[in-house]
Amino acid sequence: MTETMRALVIDRVGAPDELHIAEVPMPRRVSDEVLVRVVAAGVNPIDMKTRAGRGVSAAITGYPAVLGNDFAGVVETVPYAQHPLQPGDRVYGMGRVPRLGGSYAEFISVSSMSLTPMPATLGFVEAAAVPLAALTAWGAVIDTARAHDGQRMLIHAGAGGVGHFAVQFASYFGANVTATCSSRNADLVRALGARHVIDYERERFERVAHDQDVVIDLIGNGTDDTSTRSLDALRPDGLIVTVPTGSWPTMAEDAAARGIRATGYSVSPDARTLAVITRLIDDGAVRVHVEQEFPLEEGAEAHRVLEGGHVRGKLVLRVAPDPE
């Protein structure tokens, strides 16, 4: 195996044009890590924020830096002969960027607890769209909000990367889902399981949705004070789960003053939960929407599209051809 690999990197934080192709050292697999040959890599808001100098950029220890959390690919090497995964297996998962090199590269090395076999019903591009977004949705909707029959749940950005999974998970477990989205995405969000759809371009959601048990806030206060306004949609002692927590530094105090519970949420790589999500996908209970696929060389354009907002589902980078 060669000592270097092709990757999409940044030499400093900044605009999307900072992303460029370079030859970088191969990741060195250690301990329980599995080395994966990447076929496709998901593009997420955290990648965009980190590239711009926000997100987790403070943890970048050196350049060039390889971003990208989601991946789908083929196992190259494993920690020991009888490991549950074997060379040639099709796998997907998420890494720990920037503690380790990311998935915008030909290879990634990740903990065994960060990946699992791919859904049999998905190709590599669709699979790469799943891990971070689906695990975030599961953590917010299932682990934190405890979605259950009859629960009234308002989900912001129901057509987005995390949102389109959140709507499906909440609906699957019986919640009465109201979702916000643009008019062009209303039919999609209804098809995903939302009973009520609010076109945020025409209606103020807090005037339409009342006495909700839970709000899953995937937008934050950076856009039209969405987080703060969500308090008006909740019942007393309701719960707001805000994923972009940095946009609402007074979250705890503002919610407490209204008698409402509030928490942020941060996702972790979790092979066991991802395996459950895999079964839901293969059973047809959950579907994946990829808005657009870009070659790795056009990663900067993918970031520009994501920055523009209004992406339905996910964007994915094609790193290598499908293996034969």
Model pLDDT for residues 176-206, shown as the tens digit of each residue: 999 999 999 999 999 999 999 999 999 999 9
Kindly state the percentage of the chain with pLDDT values over 70: 100
Q: How far apart are CA 210 and CA 206, in angstroms?
A: 7
Residue type, 191: A
Residue 2: per-residue pLDDT = 78
Distance (Å, whole) CA 102 – CA 67:
5
Whether the pLDDT of residue 320 is over 90: the answer is yes
Residue 247 contacts residue 218 (beta carbons within 8 Å): no
Beta bridge partners of 196: 178
**Model pTM?**
0.97
Asked if residues 166 and 194 have their Cβ atoms less than 8 Å apart, the reply is no
**Alpha helices (H) along the chain:** 45-51, 124-128, 131-138, 163-172, 186-192, 205-208, 226-230, 251-257, 271-282, 299-307
pLDDT band at 220 (very low <50, low <70, confident <90, very high): very high
pLDDT of 174 > 80? The answer is yes
- Cα end-to-end span (Å), the chain: 19
* Residue 287 DSSP code: -
User: Contact at 8 Å (CB) between 307 and 16?
Assistant: yes
